[in-house]
Chain A
């Protein structure tokens, strides 16, 4: 395993996937009936993979910690899903989607994987429409599109502000059809606690029934991890409360390399933190940047007055506002990619222009859009010479139709009416581009262990473009993994059922039990959340939007100390053999406490700024990211060696045959 083999097929870029599908082994339908596959996680990637694998004829077992597959956190994705359909005739193509994604990722992703993603993107839309996903349509009955950050075309399909929900319910319905046929066995309220290797191959998992507390063994010929990202290492993020890294981390500890852990996306438009009690952060969809304009006051005095409640933002004239994204990036304006928008907000707030109590917020203003839409609507409604209040009323109706649920969500949380006063937003941890290293087939460095969706590292480089997570999850689940896994399983048609009686299962189960017993035995004084919040603070302050070597070195030490404290002093009431939410949390936080250290180590290694990874030491005079292609044009894939800080680095050099590496510019 010394050398990473990405298994990228030879030949021209556009032909690689077709050629590969023709070259790989298939399993005949009769043999598929004798092969079992475990899918952990039932979001877009896991749900889609489970449904498709079952349709093909494999016996599938799915696992999710939620009470139903429909509740996986893909459901919270709001804005949309990209596809290179070019329905708008604005010059889109597979190549352009591929190019935008590589550039958006700051040239740190694999060409072949990304091209394949673009290639199958159109199929996803066809598939979802056939499933009954109610995408937004135009009056003529055809599908509507909107724009997202970092691109110059309209290629985003959407279902109101609930695109993730609708796509997930589509995958869930496809799963239900297979559950109904008996081809999928769904283990809900079950959490994977470890992976089991037999003769070096992934052959099963140890899971805990979260209701009864029972520790169970499940065997299969292959294991698919589609368990999402690790943003909750920051405690505060837009992830669901239960989102965790445990499955991926346990696989890492058993031989799967973890790639680019420091590549994290901080999303620019989230509702700012309101106090110490805060348990999670809420995203306001990037689609809002289609119509919202981001600004802070030009003069510091005005910012101070707004913070103190002495001045209202609506009292400031156009000249007194600094639309800093439009000023700094005239070509893309408010639709620059997320990493760029987030850093720009931080820069203004650090300079003292923040607009809420804590000084960590900027405005997202819809007044101009309301006016523009109102005028247009008056025109098409035959109202001549409309007065100002009519224009605003009509404009607000248009905005409500487009973003109504987001505006309502904002109003419920902040208690302010965003139609009348600008929203306040600030960046928050949202997505992790890093994840388990996988080859072109989505196989990790453990044979038979596959990884799909956000949990793998493969497609988004150092920064993900908006509306591309849904695309990748479904592409991996519906269209990539079901093919590529067959190539591996073709060798298993004579293996027969895998027994859970093997000594390897016995040994791993024992380890899992001992870990949980150790957690329960803590004589401690502090709750799990106490530690999780502390870890989050270290991560946010030292491994967040801006990083430097000194902070990262400190973070590595502090996290190791916190981990030691946690294992000695955490307090978990209740018992192991019953429903116990504190124990569930503790097991997850224990893994975050290890991952956090590797995260910081990875960020320390990468002496450059690229995408979401911004090292203060490496920036241009204008404060833009300074990438170093000569020394860091590689994927860092870490091999576990006992302690996170001892992880061994393997480099996968990124080869660009079709794209010229350039400084990313959105000016």
Chain B
């Protein structure tokens, strides 16, 4: 493997979260009955004309600004001509020679702790096609045009990625970014975010590129990673056995974990691109760009640095907590409500809360414990009312019962015992009950200290302040 360098570029189709389609007023809502959200324009009826949705343009510009790209003052919609039953007009309206966004970049984190700048060649607006349905039609094909005309932003990277992991890191970063920008819901199951990946191999140190294949429609990060790994391995075998990689489009089959040839170069379509005469060139002035810039939220990288700085978090914690805008918002709300205990809040959000959410298969936005409630719990840890260990019990009760921390603590009598006399009484009883161990300890068997701590905590149901227990126990054991 070390003889070959892997070269990867990604084309990501992000469905823009507009309410209506890119060139018609039909709804984009997912899951409606087939063909109930397809108007005359979407059906490509004779005489209909496209009218550009300004919101889609706004979203494309927002993305362009977020990746520090150039926003074209003039871009052109072009027709990509090909016949397909779910392509109503016999052409797709896309952008070809002049895209709306060009020359951007994004930094991804590498495993060695460094970062890598990945070039974004372009991002252009286009319409989606409909869906062909092959099941339940007895040898025929059903066509659902609800998706026809849904706005897409196609984001094309430079061939800057060098491994499956880098490809996944880049895709995840774009995914987080479009969700931060609220321009795409990122739902990969519903096809709102799809990746095509270009893979080629070249001898390490070579400057040219090898022949690439394009693998289409990867609808999860796991499939993206597997498809790249498979494709790298397949190409390596071809090259090492003296063969040549064929330029072609391939399809990833997740059931078999392999890629298969879909169409070769010789079958490649001649799309006969030309400017769409039904649409004027898209002109964007500086005022529009600035108005969009004013709506940009804090972006993931900036937020991460701020979290490190403001809450004293490690780079890792900050990056986990800023992975999505919703998680970051939750964390910040919790940290603020618990009096700025940033590190404590981070541990709980990433630990107990994340674990529970994961187990229940819930998203942060659906958490049964709100950020404010969690903060209520964290305050009781911080002020010593309960120990961290007891806090886990309280959290479980809050998760199940939906109650506030204070109420759980009171109702179950979980308040920490800090009264020295009370703790001493318990210690005395424990020592009295375990004379053999006491003798051994005093004879020099230091390791039994832990045993006594355990017995004391057990006797007080974990409620005694651990530090106090340690100190008092040491004194008593010394006799």
Q: Do A and B come from one complex?
A: no
Interface residues of A (CB under 8 A from B): none
Interface residues of B (CB under 8 A from A): none
